[in-house]
Homo-oligomer: A and B are copies of this chain.
Amino acid sequence: MDEFELIARYFDRASADADVLIGIGDDGAVLRPAIGLDLVTVVDTLVEGVHYPAELPAADVGYRALAVNLSDLAAMGSRPRWMTLALSLREADPAWLSDYARGLFEAAQEFDVTLVGGDTTRARQTVMSIQVTGEIEQGRALTRSGARPGDEVFVTGSVGDAAAGLEILQGRSPAGKFADDLVSRFSRPTARVAAGRQLVGRASAAIDLSDGLYTDLEKLAAASGVGVELDLDCLPVSDALRRSVVGDKALSLALAGGDDYELCFTAAAGEFDELVDVAGVPIHRIGRIAPGQGIACIRDGSPYAYHDRGYRHFS
Interface centre among A28, A43, A84, A206, by most chain B C-beta atoms within 10 angstroms, is: A28
A43 contacts which of B78, B84, B124 (Cβ < 8 Å)? B84
* A2 contacts B144, C-beta separation under 8 Å: no
Nearest-CB residue, chain B, relative to A85: B43
* A84 contacts B131, C-beta separation under 8 Å: yes
* A143 within 8 A of partner (CB): yes
Which residues of B sit under 8 angstroms from A275, Cβ to Cβ?
A: none
Which residues of B sit under 8 angstroms from A25, Cβ to Cβ?
A: 144, 223
Task: Kindly supply a per-residue 1/0 record for chain A positions 283-315, scoring 1 wherever the CB is within 8 Å of any chain B CB and 0 otherwise.
Answer: 000000000000000000000000000001111
* A129 within 8 A of partner (CB): yes
Task: Kindly supply a per-residue 1/0 record for chain A positions 110-132, scoring 1 wherever the CB is within 8 Å of any chain B CB and 0 otherwise.
Answer: 00000011111111110101010
A25 to B143 Cα, complex, angstroms:
10
A157 to B310 Cα, complex, angstroms:
51
* B21 contacts A313, C-beta separation under 8 Å: no
A313 contacts which of B84, B121, B138 (Cβ < 8 Å)? B121
Q: On chain A, which size bracket covers the interface? A: 35 or more
Which residues of B sit under 8 angstroms from A248, Cβ to Cβ?
A: none
Instruction: For residue A188, give the distance in angstroms from its CB to the closest CB of chain B.
Output: 20
* A78 contacts B28, C-beta separation under 8 Å: yes
**Given contact pairs A41-B82, A123-B127, a sample of 12 additional A-B residue pairs in the complex whose CB atoms are under 8 Å apart:** A25-B223, A26-B76, A26-B145, A27-B42, A31-B39, A32-B138, A43-B119, A44-B119, A50-B122, A88-B127, A89-B314, A122-B314
A interface, CB within 8 angstroms of B: 1-4, 6, 21-22, 25-33, 35, 38-45, 47, 50-51, 72-73, 75-76, 78, 82, 84, 86, 88-89, 92, 116-125, 127, 129, 131, 133, 136, 138-139, 141, 143-145, 206-208, 223, 312-315
Top 9 closest pairs, chain A to chain B, by CB: A86-B129, A2-B315, A28-B42, A2-B312, A33-B33, A3-B313, A27-B75, A129-B129, A92-B314
